[in-house]
Structure 1
Amino acid sequence: MRILVVEDNPNVSSMLEMFLSKEGITGEFAADGVEGYDKYKKGMYDLLVLDWMLPKMDGMTLCRKIREEGDQVPIIMLTAKDSESDQVIGFEMGADDYVTKPFSPLALMARIKAVARRTQKPVETAGLIETNYFKVNKETREVQKEGAAVHNLTPKEFDLLVFFLQHPKQVFSREQLLEQVWGYQYYGDERTVDVHIKRLRKKITNGENLFHTVWGVGYKFEEPHAD
């Protein structure tokens, strides 16, 4: 795992560097938000740890900027702000978890591992897609959910499910889904997406909320997780 830590306190950075090294995790560090954004753009990271209060660009602005660019890299916020409203702001900006200072390095390492597990991208090899819930064979168009075969999907419902599985947690507008899944610029009724989402929810869910409506934007797919 390769992690970028953006933290302006050198003592905290040194402590985290030591603990990350012990876990066999490669840690790179930046001391302000601008430097952090520059390193983020140049590198490929499995997870980001951002302090909220940073010079030049605060961590929340950095988090929002990354999310606005469409990147769903896992982000953990570090902050001394511990009110519920502050946490809500953090999650609304796109943070995956929130750790308040002072914190135990061991506890932070546990949170890092938990976030990495639940945001892990689906495994896809030789036409097979596997997630916590699903196993899909794109060649034979077979679908299993939690080990049980799903037989009643239409061709377009299958295509839509595959697209969502390949892009977990990403938000797509109806126009984007029509273009990516239907394969052309669609000038008709966008409600065809709503109909297909409704049918998928009915056919493959069993009380889980897998297909999330993002009001004013569109939809995203996200499987429930357990830390």
Structure 2
Amino acid sequence: MSAACGTREGAVRVLIVDDEPELAELLSWAAVEAGWQPFLARDGHSALALARGCAPHAVVLDWMLPDLDGLRVLRTLRYENAKLPVLMLTARDALEHRLDGLSAGADDYVTKPFSVEEVMLRLRGLLRRTGAEAAEGESVRVLGDLVLAEKTRQVRRGGESIALTAKEFDLLCFLMSHPRQVLSKAQILNHVWSSSFESEGNLVEVYVYSLRGKIDKGRAPMIHTVRGAGYVIRAASQGR
């Protein structure tokens, strides 16, 4: 399978790695029903290529694969992204096997045979823990590795929590509501503050600078200045 993938804007991406076609398709269908975007891999090498190309929010990983075993894939995933949630699937239910999986970095462990509902519930729990999916009734915006939960006003990037002031949060929410769209200072003032602030010439610049320092610091930039036009937010992988 190619590493190329078409990601859906704002979707929670789940990588499913299993060489049993029927089981993989069943899990994929369940992921779609949950509102997520699934990606399927039948072997370890394809799984690693997809993980690098599509930046999944979580991985469902079978232990027994035709090339690399699940533990080797897990260790590589952990080395490349220490915070990526991984749910292991296996027919091995002995205690030592569970300990091997958990010590290699698995976040959870489900033995076969299992119900798809159980896998989905455990996966949803992992996604909530990392902020990729919020509790029922929560409105969540996702752009690349940046996650914003409107109801709880929480922001995470790469799984790490970011503390914002009230106006910084409102500004980020407005930007993320219009990904890849250049927004003028006037538009930002009108939506984040009010028309009464139009005379405050550098208000937007000050807040964008502050927000950029928290969102982009030490990471690939997402918030960009378009000279003479305004500001735009893009997933880091989309470049400038």
Question: TM range, normalised to the smaller chain?
Answer: 0.5 to 0.7
TM-superposed deviation, 1:110: 0.3
| Residue 47 (structure 2) aligns with | 36
Deviations 1:92-117 (A, max 9, x none): 11111001111100111100111111
C-alpha distance in 2 between matches for 1:118 and 1:136:
17
Whether 1:2 and 2:8 are equivalent positions in the alignment is no
TM-superposed deviation, 1:72: 1.6
C-alpha distance in 2 between matches for 1:98 and 1:135:
29
Deviations 1:54-84 (A, max 9, x none): 0111111100011122432110000001111
C-alpha distance in 2 between matches for 1:124 and 1:106:
27
Q: What SS class does the counterpart of residue 103 from structure 1 fall into? A: coil
TM-superposed deviation, 1:28: 0.7
Which amino acid letter does the alignment assign opposite residue 21 of structure 1? V
Specify whether residues 35 and 92 from structure 1 end up closer, same or farther in structure 2 by C-alpha distance, changes over 3 A only.
same
| Residue 77 (structure 2) aligns with | 66
Which amino acid letter does the alignment assign opposite residue 71 of structure 1? A
TM-superposed deviation, 1:26: 0.9
Which amino acid letter does the alignment assign opposite residue 29 of structure 1? L
| Residue 128 (structure 2) aligns with | 117
TM-superposed deviation, 1:118: 1.5
- Select 2:34's aligned residue among 16, 20, 23: 23
How much is the aligned-residue C-alpha RMSD, in angstroms? Answer: 2.8
Specify whether residues 124 and 112 from structure 1 end up closer, same or farther in structure 2 by C-alpha distance, changes over 3 A only.
closer
C-alpha distance in 1 between matches for 2:31 and 2:147:
25
TM-superposed deviation, 1:18: 1.6
C-alpha distance in 2 between matches for 1:32 and 1:5:
10
Answer yes or no: is the 8 Å Cα contact 2:16–2:28 preserved in 1: no
C-alpha distance in 2 between matches for 1:97 and 1:73:
12
TM-score, normalised to structure 1, is 0.54
Percentage identity across paired residues of the two chains? 34
TM-superposed deviation, 1:130: 6.3
Query: Which runs of 5 or more residues in structure 1 are unaligned?
Result: 139-165, 167-179, 181-227
TM-superposed deviation, 1:23: 1.3
Answer yes or no: is the 8 Å Cα contact 2:85–2:107 preserved in 1: yes
Specify whether residues 68 and 15 from structure 1 end up closer, same or farther in structure 2 by C-alpha distance, changes over 3 A only.
same
Deviations 1:205-227 (A, max 9, x none): xxxxxxxxxxxxxxxxxxxxxxx
| Residue 23 (structure 2) aligns with | 12
TM-score, normalised to structure 2, is 0.51
Q: What SS class does the counterpart of residue 77 from structure 1 fall into? A: strand
TM-superposed deviation, 1:119: 2.5
Alignment of 1:171-210 (within 5 A): none
Q: State the 4+ residue runs in structure 1 displaced beyond 6 angstroms.
A: 121-125, 128-131
Q: What SS class does the counterpart of residue 60 from structure 2 fall into? A: strand
| Residue 212 (structure 1) aligns with | none
Q: What SS class does the counterpart of residue 41 from structure 1 fall into? A: helix
Which amino acid letter does the alignment assign opposite residue 90 of structure 1? G
Whether 1:94 and 2:112 are equivalent positions in the alignment is no
Q: How many residues align?
A: 137
Specify whether residues 129 and 3 from structure 1 end up closer, same or farther in structure 2 by C-alpha distance, changes over 3 A only.
closer
Which amino acid letter does the alignment assign opposite residue 104 of structure 2? M
Q: What SS class does the counterpart of residue 39 from structure 2 fall into? A: strand
